[in-house]
């Protein structure tokens, strides 16, 4: 069974956490949601607050050794808050140092830039942060999924199926037909 850590906080793009989580769970993965606080975090559903989801662990209580991959949902608020948290950035760097897949969608590649992981690498993202990624040294492309080594990036909620399937393939999980 593959174990996937999802790091998110209030303001995560609801579809970008819930849909990959559901696809991964349906394929047999074990999912842990880690955040900055205990209790619940609330999603953002397009133009207003959406559903909440329970937090399994706080960031300080997770270890890269316990997981096979990291998934970072986007939304505008969620990654902007998370990139200011050193424990989160340290965790992203630890997954990279271990060579484990890191899947980041929408605005979440901001976390990859903050962790200094994208210089010389090919990534994609939500259009408004592409200049930030290019300024951090990435080769930025506009496509459904960009895979460069252990980094898997996508642009927006429309890319969720391809994004999640790319993560599943990186984990040697059966991808739905």
Q: What is the mean pLDDT of each run of 10 residues along the chain (177 residues)?
A: 97 98 96 98 95 97 98 97 98 98 98 98 98 98 98 98 97 86
CB count in 10 Å sphere of residue 161: 16
Give dist(CA 173, CA 159) in Å, integer. 19
Stated as kind and residue range, the H or E segment containing 97 is helix 86-97
Give dist(CA 137, CA 126) in Å, integer. 17
What fold does the segment set 3-170 form as a domain? Rossmann fold (3.40.50)
Collect all residues with Cβ–Cβ distance below 8 Å to 86 and sequence separation of at least 6. none
Give dist(CA 21, CA 23) in Å, integer. 6
Measured between its terminal Cα atoms, the distance across the chain in Å is 20
Residue 68 a catalytic site member: no
Q: 7, 88, 106, 173: which one is catalytic?
A: 106
- What secondary structure, in 3-state letters, does 104-158 show? EECCCHHHHHHCCCCCCCEECCCHHHHHHHHHCCCEECCCCEEEECCEEEECCHH
What pTM does this model have?
A: 0.97
pLDDT at 174: 87
Residue 1 a catalytic site member: no
pLDDT at 175: 81
Q: 21, 83, 100, 107: which one is catalytic?
A: 107
User: Nearest Cα to 4, choosing from 95, 83, 124?
Assistant: 95
């Amino acid at each position: 069974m593959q174990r996937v850590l999802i790091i998110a906080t209030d303001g995560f793009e609801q579809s970008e956490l819930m849909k990959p989580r559901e696809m991964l769970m349906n394929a047999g993965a074990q999912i842990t949601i880690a955040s900055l606080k205990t209790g619940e975090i609330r999603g953002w559903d397009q133009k207003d607050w959406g559903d909440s989801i329970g937090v399994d662990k706080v960031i300080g209580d997770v270890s890269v050794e316990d997981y096979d991959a990291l998934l970072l949902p986007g939304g505008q608020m969620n990654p902007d808050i998370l990139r200011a948290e050193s424990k989160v950035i340290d965790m992203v760097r630890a997954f990279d140092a271990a060579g484990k897949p890191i899947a980041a969608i929408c605005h979440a590649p901001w976390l990859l830039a903050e962790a200094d992981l994208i210089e010389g690498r090919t990534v994609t993202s939500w259009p408004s942060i592409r200049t930030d990624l290019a300024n951090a040294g990435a080769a930025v492309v506009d496509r459904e999924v960009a895979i460069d080594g252990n980094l898997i990036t996508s642009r927006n909620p429309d890319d969720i199926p391809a994004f999640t399937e790319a993560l599943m393939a990186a984990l040697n999980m059966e991808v739905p037909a």
